[in-house]
Amino acid sequence: MEPDRGDQRPHLPSPSLWPVGFAVGIVCILAGLIVSPPAVALGVVITVIFGFMWVREVTAEQRRPPAPVESEPAGPERTRPAPAIPANEGPAAMPESSPEEIDAFERFPRSKFLEGATLGIGAAIGGIVTVPAVGLAVLPAFVNQEKKEVDIGPLSEFPEGQWRIATFLEAPEEGEVSRRTAYVRNNGLLAGAPSFTAVSNRCVHLGCPVQPGGPSDEENKRMIKSESGAQIELTPTQPSNFGCPCHGGSYDTEGNRRAGPPVRALDRYEFAIRNGRVFLGKTYSVSEVEGQGKEARIKKYKLASPGQHVDGIESWLYPVQPPGK
């Protein structure tokens, strides 16, 4: 009777969490390519760690030393099989391989070749399918997004110390979808040059249109044209504050948050005076404004989305924004 040598059949690998962690790392890398470079770095670290542990677990059997062979029990009760036919007797099972064929097989085993070819073809197909789709989805947000300056009228239309509601088309070729509103005040001269406050009407909570907290003189509304022929609407107003009618956000006349859910001050426009005309440039975000009018000290940041902090620890939790958004 043969002694029990245990089950010699190959076993399936036991359940493991390493593949799950490896997949999570890949997802972090792909998501990070869209939202945040730090997420890519985190995904690479997770992928490398879990991938290494996965490979280590899968190859544990190959790295384990072979078990010692038990000696055959001796005795008359042992039934010995008939002796095997010597290898040098009888017909050959297959033609003898030449030394060159043996060497080539050892260096380039067929299984390794098929494995490499399959992985290479799969990677090429995946790249061909994925790269164009990802490029079309991501690149437009980062290409040609810089805003152009907008002419909002001659300097004479902005009396010193008075507010004007300026409504204009940021990109006339795009039509009404590019209509914007800014609250503009001439602060007078600062160091011999005109100083302006140009506040965006986009609430920094969820982007609703902010309204002036004071009367607007609709009877004296003026429709003027820019040098390019675009229509501009200028309405006198006397705001004591700015308020969002959607969720109760409240700001003072410098755009500082006073109440409600907004997380920072109102965004502002850069401005320039050329040939006696006022131009609004890119918008930028503001955490806080100290002082008023031409004496104001503005804590300026790159433009951020509504609801996004621009300073403090909270600002680290948000992804990188496309330029010129």
- Give me the mean pLDDT over the 162-169 stretch: 91
Residues 65-101 pLDDT 10s = 766 655 555 555 556 666 776 666 666 666 666 666 6
As a 3-state breakdown, the chain gives helix, strand, coil percent values, each rounded to 5, of 35, 25, 40
Q: Return the closest-CA partner of residue 38 out of 312, 317, 285, 311.
A: 317
Burial call 116-125: b when 16+ CB within 10 Å, e when fewer? eeeeeeeeee
The residue that leads in pLDDT, 19 or 142, is: 19
Q: How confident is the model at residue 200 (pLDDT cuts 50, 70, 90)?
A: very high
Confidence band, pLDDT 50/70/90 cuts, at residue 1: very low
The residue written with tokens 């039934």 in the block is: 79
Please state the rounded mean pLDDT for residues 20-36. 79
Angle 319-323-324 from CA coordinates, rounded to 5°? 125
pLDDT band at 57 (very low <50, low <70, confident <90, very high): confident
Residue 210 has pLDDT above 90, yes or no: yes
Beta bridge partners of 151: 279
97 against 119, higher pLDDT: 119
Digit-coded pLDDT (tens) for 219-237? 888 898 887 778 889 999 9
| Other Cβ atoms closer than 10 A to 98 | 9
- 269-320 pLDDT, tens digit per residue, is 999 998 889 999 899 999 999 988 888 899 999 888 898 888 888 777 776 6
What percent of the chain has pLDDT above 90? Answer: 26
What pLDDT sits at residue 169?
Answer: 87
The number of CA neighbours under 13 Å toward the Cβ of 180 is: 27
pLDDT for position 137: 67
What is the pLDDT averaged over residues 36-63?
Answer: 81
CA 132 to CA 85: how far, in whole Å?
64
Is the pLDDT reported for residue 10 higher than 60? no
Mean pLDDT (the chain, rounded): 79
Average pLDDT over residues 101-116: 62
Whether pTM > 0.75 for this model: the answer is no
Using an 8 Å Cβ cutoff, are 216 and 183 in contact? no
Distance in Å from the first CA to the final CA of the chain: 82
Confidence of residue 130 (pLDDT cuts 50, 70, 90): confident
307 contacts 205 by C-beta, under 8 angstroms: yes
Per-residue exposure over 185-202, b if at least 16 CB sit within 10 Å of its own CB, e if not:
bbbeeeeeebbbbbbbbb
Which pLDDT band holds residue 204 (cuts at 50, 70, 90)? Answer: very high
